[in-house]
Amino acid sequence: MKSTMVVFVALLFLELFTLVTMINISFCIGNPNVGCVDSERQALLKLKQDLSDPSNRLASWNIGDGDCCAWDGVVCNNFTGHVLQLNLGNPNPNYGTGSKLVGKINPSLFDLKHLIHLDLSDNDFQGIQTPSYLGSLKNLRYLNLSGAEFAGVIPHQLGNISNLQYLDLSKSYYELQVESISWLSGLSFLEHLDLSLVDLTKSSDGLVTINSLPSLKVLKLSSCELHHFPSLPSTNFSSLKALDLSGNHFNNSLFQYSSWVFGLRNLVFFDLSDNEFHGKIPSGLGNLTFLRHLDLSSNEFNSAIPGWLSKLNDLEFLSLRGNSLHGTISSMGLEKLTSIKTLDLSFNVELGGQIPTSFVRLCKLTSIDVSYVKLGQDLSQVLDIFSSCGAYALESLVLSGCHICGHLTNQLGQFKSLHTLELRDNSLSGPLPPALGELSSMKNLDLFNNTLDGAIPMSLGQLSHLELMDLSNNRLNGTLSEIHFVNLTKLTSFSAFGNSLIFKVNQSWVPPFQLEKLRLRSCHLGPQFPSWLRSQKHLFILDISNTRISDTIPRWFWNSISQYVYLNLSTNQIYGEIPNCDRPLPLVPSPGLLDLSNNALSGSIFHLICKRENESDNIYVYLKLSKNYFSGDIPDCWMSWPNLLVLNLGNNFFSGSLPISIGTLSSLELLNLRNNRMVGIIPVSIQNCSNLKVLDMGENEFVGDIPIWMGEDFQVYRFSIFDQTSFMGLCQFNFVV
């Protein structure tokens, strides 16, 4: 009987275990037939209606697809079908506006009452008010509105989301502000708070309120217009791990009257960069012995490197960049930072000495920047120090402007992990060693402004990860061919101006890369216009001035001219007329330069100057067309060039009168019309060019008197030049434009 009972109990236990297991599996997997709740599906469709979606991120949000739980960015509870998460943050925030959702937030969002996670970051809501009804989403644990371009006063209703653990309201292009931050006191579970770029000047209660958040682990208040923090009788920041106060207006009073800062013993991350600290770096920071990241850059500290840094045994990142530190790099504090991975001492121009041999102990160091520090050291000595650990783990070596001398030798080939090598503005000489091609991880190679000579080794074509290469302002010579670029599939920026290099590539060559920036001034590209540029669809900075081109500009290039922010074709022998091309809209909305001067171009400039229907205003700030054979009237459509600062049309064959629309160039500072065949009087509209500093109309055939308003308006910080015209009371100045 007893054994039977045991068996019965065992079987009962097995059945119960099986049942519980099945329930658990069912709960985890959910009912496969449960779709989203219809009211929530309708709410999402209404949300989509008010949004512009240029990259079709919401293409799956379709009326014909009944299960919204399968839509992109939507996460549901598998058991109930309620929407739990909306992940609508921009997946490509660094690539322009193409992937941003644009518009407004439909109040239907309020119907998602079970929502615990809402991410709308890095979209464009065009300066609308942050919706106050977000405060009614009581179940939210995560709210990310970073970079979503809301504006105005942050609604206090957000303080009603009592279960919130993560809140990010940072990085709006528009002005965000708070009148009082007391509403934060209702968020007792908050662990992460980011208010970077939010104006907190009106929130005098800020720190006291934040101090009442016992669960807070991450606090970011970067660029919040803060000047001081009040002293606190006691602090509840015992759980704080990360504190970012960068980009404010703090001075030493933060340390003098807010001693609580030195009591944050659990801090791992501390950023005090870009403030107004001065004098000695406060020794109290040495109490924060758990720190792994300490950023004191862009302040005015003017002491020696402190020895107490040696207390920070766990420190992995240290930046003292852009201060006024003096003394020498040799410091017992630095050489004992055996956990350090990133060390930045750059732009301390009074700091000197040499990289000490004691740095051989820093075997975890992967990145060091001592740019524009007075080192005066031989490159081979530096490389010996950083290779002494035997692993050659260094990934970034930046020694620009450090009075480094010596040669680039095959010693560099040992640093297989090196992805950044910046040695610009030094005294390096000799040829480029073939061993550079062995740096298989190299992404950024910057040797600008040295005295390197000889030919460029073909081995550089093996740097398959290379993205940026700058060899400009050296004494390099020889020929560059397709072999030098054969594996550079990731190259986006190449500069080699100021050398005597000859480009010899086949006219049918299609490069393996897609460049964004190309600077080859004074190299030898000609006589033909480089046809391989046709394949470069992302190029927006191009300087091929003084490159011995003696050819016409192909029509395909004229068609793409609006993609360039900076375009310099000057000082060649380029000839022909400007055709009427199908110019696309500018790809990059930034001001720049268009320089076609000192060539043999002829005909009208109408098709270059005047935009067509549906074409945007021009983006250029500098327009230089001087020393060509352009002729005919100057077009009367300058209202399409609202940003123009410099207009140089001198030394051409323009005729006719000066167009009235020149007066719409309200930002114009220089206007050069010298040595043309222009006639008539100066239009009154030019007095609207109130910023004009240089006006040269000499060697033309203008008539009449100098206008009285010109003497009245152009007398301070301005001068006018009318020599060799028929004006009375002429002034003559000599200058170069």
Tell whether the model's pLDDT for residue 713 goes beyond 50: yes
Pairing status of strand 218-220 against strand 192-194: parallel
Phi/psi class of residue 90: alpha, beta or left (left: φ > 0; alpha: ψ in -120 to 50)? beta
Closest by CA position to 413, among listed 382, 390, 436: 436
pLDDT by residue (tens digit) across 357-383? 989 889 899 999 999 999 889 999 999
Torsion over CA: 367, 372, 374, 378 (sign): positive
Q: With bands split at pLDDT 50, 70 and 90, how would you rate the model's confidence at 33?
A: low
Alpha carbon 137 to its chain's center: 34
- Tell me, what's the pLDDT at 695? 87
- Tell me, what's the pLDDT at 554? 94
Q: To the nearest whole number, what is the mean pLDDT of the chain?
A: 86
Tell whether the model's pLDDT for residue 232 goes beyond 60: yes
Contact between 363 and 391 under an 8 Å Cβ cutoff? The reply is yes
How large a percentage of the chain has pLDDT more than 70?
Answer: 87
Report d(CA 263, CA 328) in Å as an integer: 30
| pTM (two decimals) | 0.84
Report d(CA 241, CA 7) in Å as an integer: 55
Tell whether the model's pLDDT for residue 247 goes beyond 90: yes
Q: With bands split at pLDDT 50, 70 and 90, how would you rate the model's confidence at 93?
A: confident
In the structure encoding, which two tokens stand for residue 558, read together? Answer: 């004229």
What is the set of domains in the chain, with CATH numbers?
455-462+474-721 (3.80.10.10)
Report helix, strand or coil for 663: helix
Tell whether the model's pLDDT for residue 429 goes beyond 90: yes
pLDDT by residue (tens digit) across 468-482? 999 999 999 999 999
- Tell me, what's the pLDDT at 681? 85
pLDDT by residue (tens digit) across 604-651? 999 888 877 666 667 789 999 999 999 999 999 998 888 899 999 999
Tell whether the model's pLDDT for residue 553 goes beyond 50: yes
- Tell me, what's the pLDDT at 589? 41
